[in-house]
């Protein structure tokens, strides 16, 4: 989990806060006993230094962000945009198993199908029972850049190379990291009365943007009082009382799962696609795209990388160039320059019936709008995205 959101805490408070969080985090929270009182800074430190190297649990996701309703008979057969919309809309259930960074399994249980993402050491498998397809890749040995690839927090951003856009449900830890990364000194952070999630006492950390230039009204993160692991994330859109999105554990064990859960073999008759992974700092995919950090064909450098030295796996003959960001925190707008990949995305919005229901024509392009995020596909091929009002994206596009 990224810790850059700790930077805005008063520097003199950090050592004391970390020490207090570590001591309190080592004491189990027994049923019926209230959690020790903590300040928002102490809860943030507890999250940043949480210790949950092994777990197994069930996740429930609900969403009401204004996407078109899809058939409730399992994953959409249309693939592509339909798969993305299906994952982001309606209820979903997933089982998560983690035993250190090298053993991870996420199973998304649809009504008539199942999606699996499994890492065992350097072996990674992604499987979709809907069409009985599997993708296999082997991470380079002793490669620091790929060490945490397909850690539980990365599954939510993985785009299945075989299907193009099939994803896997994120976890509360991954969502909390991304939302806390948007917090800055203008964000109000408070600890509300404790909650119980999956039978565990949890701090209720609520972050509220003070700016009105964002679609996000508030974010509530339930933080396990014993381990510091985020147990649930509830996102409300500005001006709405009901959550637009909620992801929470309904059951959780912090014991190590059975090792057999991380052994995967494709079932008989499965179509298997092998993906070549380049060594750190070399080349790019010889087949398909590198699918990290929310893009399908490029690596977006981590903001924590002081020299911008993240390895460049972009395909110069068709990959998505690195984006630029204007604004900060909740008001950030990400711009992807025109490229073959962005042009393909724009064409998909114009032609896919499901996306057409959510996209409307605006001056200079088409706007894909939800309660918590807007995406503008400009006619010139650029793409703008952010949890900001549509007018902000239109202004950013017109300024170039």
Are residues 197 and 65 part of one domain? yes
> pLDDT tier at 168 (50, 70, 90 boundaries)?
low
Mean of the pLDDT values across residues 277-288? 49
Mean of the pLDDT values across residues 184-209? 94
Are residues 161 and 30 part of one domain? yes
Are residues 368 and 253 part of one domain? no
Mean of the pLDDT values across residues 177-198? 91
> pLDDT tier at 69 (50, 70, 90 boundaries)?
low
Are residues 333 and 233 part of one domain? no
Is position 331 within any domain?
Answer: yes
98 vs 24, more confident: 98
* Per-residue pLDDT at 140: 82
285: pLDDT strictly greater than 60: no
Is position 299 within any domain?
Answer: no
Report whether 93 contacts 74 (CB < 8 A): no
Are residues 331 and 240 part of one domain? no
Could you give the percent of the chain with pLDDT greater than 70? 66
CA pair distance 179, 173, nearest whole angstrom:
10
Is position 303 within any domain?
Answer: no
Are residues 273 and 217 part of one domain? yes
Over the chain, what HEC string results? CCCHHHHHCCHHHHHHHHHHHHHHHCCCCCCCCCCCCCCHHHHHHHHHCCCCCEEEEEEEEEECCCCCCCCCCCCCCCCCHHHHHHHHCCCEEEEEEEECCCEEEEEEECCCCEEEEEEECCEEEEEECCCCEEEEEECCCCCHHHCCCCCHHHHHHCCCCCCCCCCCCCCHHHHHHHHHHCCCCCEEEEEEEEEEECCEEEEEEEEEECCCCCCEEEEEEEEECCCCCEEEEEEEECCCCCCCEEEEEEEEECCCCCHHHHCCCCCCCCEEEEECCCCCCCCCCCCCCCCCCCCCCCCCCCCCCCCCCCCCCCCCCCCCCCCEEECCHHHCEEEECCCHHHHHHHHHHHHCHHHHHHEEEECCEEEEECCCCEEEEECCCCEEEECCCHHHHHHHHHCC
What confidence tens digit (pLDDT) does each residue in 101-139 have?
Answer: 889 999 988 777 888 999 999 999 999 998 999 999 998
Domain of 202?
1-277
182: pLDDT strictly greater than 90: no
Is position 282 within any domain?
Answer: no
Are residues 166 and 232 part of one domain? yes
- Tell me the CATH number at 141: 2.50.20.10
299 vs 67, more confident: 67
* Per-residue pLDDT at 299: 30
41: pLDDT strictly greater than 90: yes
Are residues 384 and 264 part of one domain? no
Domains: count for the chain: 2
Residue 20, judged by CB atoms within 10 A of its CB (0-12, 13-18, 19+), counts as middle
292: pLDDT strictly greater than 50: no
Are residues 30 and 88 part of one domain? yes
CA pair distance 311, 326, nearest whole angstrom:
23
Which of 220, 250, 277 is at the close of a domain? 277
Q: Output the average pLDDT for the chain.
A: 74
Provide the edge-to-edge strand list for the sheet that holds 123-128: 187-197, 200-209, 216-224, 230-237, 245-253, 54-63, 92-99, 103-109, 114-120, 123-128, 133-138, 271-275
| pTM (predicted TM-score) | 0.73
CA pair distance 164, 215, nearest whole angstrom:
29
Mean of the pLDDT values across residues 37-57? 92
Report whether 84 contacts 48 (CB < 8 A): no
Is position 28 within any domain?
Answer: yes
240: pLDDT strictly greater than 50: yes
Report whether 94 contacts 61 (CB < 8 A): yes
Are residues 350 and 251 part of one domain? no
Q: Tell me the β-bridge partners of 379.
A: none
- Tell me the CATH number at 345: 3.30.310
83: pLDDT strictly greater than 70: no
188: pLDDT strictly greater than 70: yes
Which of 254, 277, 300 is at the close of a domain? 277
Which of 277, 309, 338 is at the close of a domain? 277
Are residues 251 and 386 part of one domain? no
CA pair distance 208, 194, nearest whole angstrom:
17
């Amino acid at each position: 989990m990224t810790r850059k959101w700790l930077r805005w805490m008063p520097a003199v408070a950090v050592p004391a806060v970390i020490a207090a969080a570590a001591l309190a985090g080592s004491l189990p929270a027994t049923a019926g006993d209230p959690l020790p009182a903590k300040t928002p800074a102490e809860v943030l430190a507890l999250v940043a230094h949480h210790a949950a190297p092994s777990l197994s649990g069930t996740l429930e996701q609900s969403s009401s962000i204004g996407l078109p309703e899809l058939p409730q008979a399992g994953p959409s057969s249309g693939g592509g945009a339909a798969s993305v919309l299906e994952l982001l809309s309606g209820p979903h259930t997933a089982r998560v198993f983690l035993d250190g960074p090298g053993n991870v399994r996420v199973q998304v249980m649809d009504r008539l199908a199942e999606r699996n993402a499994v890492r065992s050491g350097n072996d990674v498998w992604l499987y979709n029972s809907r069409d009985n397809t599997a993708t296999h890749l082997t991470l380079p040995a002793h490669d620091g850049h790929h060490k945490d690839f397909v850690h539980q927090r990365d599954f939510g951003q993985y785009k299945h190379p075989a299907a193009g856009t099939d994803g896997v449900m994120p976890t509360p830890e991954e969502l909390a990291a991304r939302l806390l990364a948007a917090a800055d000194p203008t964000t109000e952070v408070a600890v509300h009365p404790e909650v119980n999630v999956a039978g565990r006492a949890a701090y209720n950390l609520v972050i509220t943007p003070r700016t009105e230039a964002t679609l996000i009204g508030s974010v509530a993160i339930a933080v396990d009082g014993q381990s510091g692991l985020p147990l649930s994330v509830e996102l409300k859109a500005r001006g709405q009382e009901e959550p637009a999105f909620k992801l929470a554990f309904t059951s959780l064990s912090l014991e190590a799962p059975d090792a057999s859960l991380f052994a995967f073999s494709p079932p008989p008759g499965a179509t298997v696609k092998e993906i070549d992974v380049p060594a750190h700092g070399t080349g790019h995919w010889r087949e398909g795209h590198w699918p990290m950090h929310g893009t399908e064909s490029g690596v977006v450098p981590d903001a924590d990388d002081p020299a911008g030295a993240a390895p460049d796996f972009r395909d110069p003959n068709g990959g998505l160039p690195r984006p630029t960001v204007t604004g900060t925190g909740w008001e950030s707008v990400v711009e992807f320059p025109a490229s073959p990949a962005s042009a393909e995305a724009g064409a998909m919005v114009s032609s896919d019936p499901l996306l057409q229901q959510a996209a409307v024509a605006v001056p200079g392009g088409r706007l894909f709008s939800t309660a918590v995020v807007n995406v503008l596909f400009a006619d010139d091929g650029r793409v703008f995205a952010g949890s900001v009002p549509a007018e902000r994206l239109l202004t950013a596009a017109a300024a170039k």
